Structures are given as structure tokens and as C-alpha cells.
Amino acid sequence: MTAYNSFSDNVPFSTIREPVPQKLAFMPSEMENTTLIYALLGICSVILAIAVSRVAYPRPYPGIPYNIKSASRITGDIPDLVPVISSTNEFSNSIFAITTQKLGSPIAQFLFPGMQKPLIILEDPREIEDIFLRRNKEFDKAPMTINIFQPMFPKGSLAQYTTPELRAQKRLWTDVMTAGFLHRATAPRIHKAALELVELWRLEATTTCTNKPFTVLDDILNTTLDAIWSSVLGDEAGTIDYSIKKLQSELNGKPQDFNPHEGPLYGRRWTTFPTLSLKFQTPRPPN
């Protein structure tokens, strides 16, 4: 700013310089604030999407064959497994069909979503025998097995890793594997189930299936269930006995006495898991 003398407007009296600001303060507008927030949210969303994709997609182990297509989708091998199970009504064979048999390799991976580690499928009898007989100390139960059985059998051997506590627990029931215990406690129940199976087959062979073949696979499975159920739980499952009574009722012309939707375990289905859990928490079977 310049000041002039009162006698002459053309002669400057003094010159005053205004200070020049060294920094300029910038106050963004409301629109600029909104744009900045949206930009930060977009960056965070991209980072989150990348992190989630890395966690959600299957993560196969290196060096072991797997289905390349399954590794590129979040659901892994599950979409390939479901239709095979639906068509064959088999679980284990279906897993082999879409892994080792499909890839033509004795070892392969079954891919789950990223939260679950892949399942190693081995279809080589010699290697399996070697692992079970000579290398069993190198392997322990899979985390998947622990996760499946631990809610039902928290103290069961299937639901625990091999630890000193589990070894001590196993020593408590070593007696149940002796020949004396099997002969005294288990053999009578197996014998009873076998006699019921023979009676069922005799009844079928002399009545409904005279001089004709009939399917026995379900009967054998039910007999096995009866024997194991009574040996482990001390109760009677009665599946073969139910089949005998049902067949006798049909031969007598009274099929309505048996509801086809109600088997021998009907009414116990809500108490099965608590009973199993209680039994498996007991370190020694009751006398």
C-alpha cells in the first residue's frame, strides 16, 4: 500500500508492504468430503472382497492332484458330489468317483470351501496297509473327524487327538477287548442277533420267497446294528425282531398292525444322541 504527501499527490510519502501469507488454508466443501468418503469406502470394499475371496475359495495342498475347476469356485467339489450321491445313494464311493477315479490318481484332494481344509483321498491298498500297520504313529485323527464326533462324544476316543490323557483313558477300557470280556458280554448278543437273522430267513424262504432268491443285504446290516447296539448301549435295537413280526403279521392278513413309517427305533430318535454321549463319557462299561 502506498501513501502520498498532502502537498503533492504524485510524491509517495511512504510505502507500506502488506505481509504475504506463507500458507493458504484450504477448507474442502461438503461435496468434496462426500467424494472422499466414498472413495475410501470403495478402497476398503475392494480390499475386503480380496480378503474374503482368499479365505472363501478352496486352498488345495501343493503337489497332490485335485480338480482344477473345483479350485476356482467357492463350493469346491461339493456341486460335483451331490448329484453322484443322489444317483448312487452312496457317500464314500461317490467321493472316490469324483476324486481319485476321475483324476486317475491313487491320491487326490476333495476340496471344501476355504474355511475347511481339503480332504486327502487315498485309494491304494498297499499304502493304506503301510499307514495302518507301520506308520500309524505318523498320523492322527483328522480335524474333520474331531469336528463331527466331538459334539456327540466329547470324551470319546473318536473325538480326541492322541494325547497322554487319551492314552490313559484307553488303558481304562483295555479289559473290554480281551477274549474273556468278548466271550462273556459281546458274544451272547451277537449270537442272539444271528439266531434272529436265521429265523427271519427261514420264515422268508418258506413263505413269501419259496424257491426264489431274495435280498439279504438289509437283513445283514440290521443284524450288525442289533449286535453293536446291544453290545455298546446294553439295550435292544430290535430291527430283525421287528422284521420278523412284520412279516408274520402280513402272513396272518393283518399288515395294518405295523406302521411302515415306524421302525423299532421309532420314538427313541430324540434320545439316541444323549444316550450315546452318556455312554461314551463313561470310561468303563457298566457291569
Give the pLDDT score at 27.
53
Give the pLDDT score at 99.
93
Handedness of CA 240, 245, 250, 251 (dihedral sign): positive
What gap in Å lies between CA 287 and CA 284, rounded to an integer?
9
Same domain, 264 and 188: yes
What's the domain count of the chain?
2
Same domain, 105 and 182: no
Residue 235 is assigned to a structural domain of this protein: yes
Same domain, 191 and 257: yes
- Quick check: 148 and 173 in contact, CB under 8 A? no
12: left (phi over 0), alpha (psi -120 to 50) or beta: beta
Residue 231 is assigned to a structural domain of this protein: yes
pTM of the model: 0.51
Give the pLDDT score at 129.
92
Taking residue 198's Cβ as centre, other Cβ atoms within 10 Å add up to: 12
Amino acid (1-letter code) at residue 180:
G
Radius of gyration of the chain (CA): 37
Give the pLDDT score at 49.
73
Give the pLDDT score at 207.
83
List the grid coordinates of 110.
476333495
Cell numbers 493458504 label which residue? 24
Please provide residue 135's backbone torsions phi and psi, each rounded to the nearest 5 degrees: -125, 25
Amino acid (1-letter code) at residue 232:
V
Residue 155 is assigned to a structural domain of this protein: no
Task: Assign 110 to helix, strand or coil.
Answer: strand
Give the pLDDT score at 10.
53
Helices 217-233 and 272-281 cross at an angle (nearest 10°) of 50
Residue 86 is assigned to a structural domain of this protein: yes
Half-sphere exposure of 224 (CA within 13 A, CB side): 6
Pairing relationship of beta strands 2-4 and 12-15 according to DSSP bridges: antiparallel
Domain boundary among 81, 102, 121: 121
Residue 275 is assigned to a structural domain of this protein: yes
Same domain, 114 and 191: no
Residue 146 is assigned to a structural domain of this protein: no
Give DSSP secondary structure letters for 44-73.
Answer: HHHHHHHHHHHHHS--PPTTS---HHHHTS
- 257 CA to centre of own chain: 39
Residue 10 is assigned to a structural domain of this protein: no
Q: Which domain holds residue 276?
A: 175-281
Q: Residue 12 forms beta bridges with which residues?
A: 4
Cell numbers 466443501 label which residue? 29
What gap in Å lies between CA 270 and CA 281, rounded to an integer?
19
**What are the pLDDT tens digits along the chain (287 aa)?**
444 444 445 545 445 455 555 544 555 566 667 777 777 888 888 787 776 767 778 889 999 999 999 988 888 899 999 999 999 888 888 999 999 999 999 999 999 887 788 989 999 999 999 998 999 888 888 888 888 888 888 888 888 898 888 888 888 877 777 888 888 888 999 999 999 999 999 988 888 878 888 888 889 999 999 998 888 787 888 888 888 888 888 888 766 555 544 555 654 544 444 444 444 444 444 43
Domain boundary among 87, 104, 121: 121
Residue 203 is assigned to a structural domain of this protein: yes
The residue length of the chain stands at 287
CA distances to 91, 119, 155 from 52, in Å:
30, 21, 35
Same domain, 191 and 117: no
Amino acid (1-letter code) at residue 265:
L
Task: Assign 268 to helix, strand or coil.
Answer: coil
121 sits in which H/E element: strand 119-122
Give the pLDDT score at 176.
75
